[in-house]
Amino acid sequence: MTYCVGLYLREGLVLLSDTRTNAGVDNISTFGKMQVEAVPGERVLTMLSAGNLAITQAVWNRLQEGSG
């Protein structure tokens, strides 16, 4: 089970995600499921992901290729 939450409040956005990728008893791996790319004073792109880690990494890599 993985969790991603986004709250839109009057004060701004609150984004939360967990980092657990494996629910095994003896081997718990972690990976950041929230990626942030910012241009100070202009914009912020935040991606929260849940599900298949390989797809998440592929999408994030594709987005970063376009920002170069």
pLDDT-derived band at 10 (thresholds 50, 70, 90) equals very high
Task: State if pTM tops 0.75.
Answer: no
CA–CA dist 60, 62 (Å, integer): 5
The span from the CA of 37 to the CA of 51, in Å, is: 21
What is the model's pLDDT at position 32?
73
Residue of 38, 27, 37 lying closest to 61 (CA atoms): 37
- Residues of the chain above pLDDT 70, percent: 78
Average pLDDT of the chain, as a whole number: 80
